[in-house]
Amino acid sequence: MHYLKAVIKEALRLYPSVPSLIPRISSQDVKTNGYHIKANTQGIVNVWNIGREPKSIV
């Protein structure tokens, strides 16, 4: 069962069921990676791209 669970997780990492998550709204001003994001700014997380980012693969 451990192998099956790992295979399912890997398949979902490469082919997520939803390519983008629900839009998020920042609750306060934030500075991240050199970008200034103001409060009440809407952003969308691209799950498909995160799953393929070499830096995020453990």
Rounded to a whole number of angstroms, the distance between the first and last alpha carbons of the chain is: 21
| CB neighbour class for 48 (10 Å; exposed up to 12, middle 13-18, buried from 19) | middle
Residue 25 lies in a domain: yes
Residue 18 lies in a domain: yes
Residues 2-54: pLDDT tens digits? 999 999 988 988 888 876 677 889 999 999 889 999 999 999 888 888 778 88
Give how many domains the chain has, as a whole number: 1
Give the model's pLDDT for residue 34.
92
Residue 42 lies in a domain: yes
Domain region containing 9: 2-52
pLDDT at residue 58 greater than cutoff 80? no
What's this model's pTM, rounded to 2 decimal places?
Answer: 0.53
